[in-house]
Amino acid sequence: MRDPERDPGRLEHILMAIDKIEEYTQGISYAQLVADSMRLHATVYNVQIVGEAAYKLTHEFKASHTTVNWKQIEKMRHILVHDYYKISFRIVWNVVEEDIPYLKSEVRRFLDEIGQE
């Protein structure tokens, strides 16, 4: 059983991973990311961390914070970890560009709600 007291820490882990993703991808294009193996794999790793931290959130927390598609985040993590040979770096890039900014704002809002940030 997952401990609800750990939810704020998991949310903090998501924010820390997002900060790294932003650091690694700021000011570069998709082509530049794919050409830089170290930066690419560091980005993928931090997307995995986002997924793992989301997976570890309690079911109650996720059920009460439905503005985030937690299942989609978890599914992405499972693909990156278990189906690593099928990774589409274009999809990873789209997640970084389109989904990460929204997730960051929502996680900050959730932490504000529980008085953690």
Q: Where are the domains of the chain?
A: 4-113
Spell out the alpha helix ranges (H) of 7-117: 7-25, 30-35, 37-56, 59-64, 70-82, 89-94, 100-113
pLDDT given at position 84: 87
pLDDT given at position 3: 74
Judge whether residue 89 has pLDDT over 60: yes
Q: What is the arithmetic mean of pLDDT over 5-9?
A: 93
Q: To the nearest whole percent, how much of the chain has pLDDT over 70?
A: 97
pLDDT given at position 56: 96
* AA identity, residue 80: L
Judge whether residue 117 has pLDDT over 60: no
Whether this model's pTM surpasses 0.95: no
Residues 6 or more apart whose Cβ sits within 8 Å of residue 14: 49, 50, 53, 54, 103, 107
CA neighbours closer than 13 Å in the CB half-sphere of residue 110: 24
Judge whether residue 116 has pLDDT over 70: no
Check if 77 is active-site: yes
Q: Given 10, 78, 82, 90, which residue is catalytic?
A: 82
Q: Given 77, 78, 90, 109, which residue is catalytic?
A: 77
Q: What is the arithmetic mean of pLDDT over 69-93?
A: 95
The single-letter DSSP state of residue 58 is: -
Check if 82 is active-site: yes
Contact 77, 46 (CB under 8 A): no
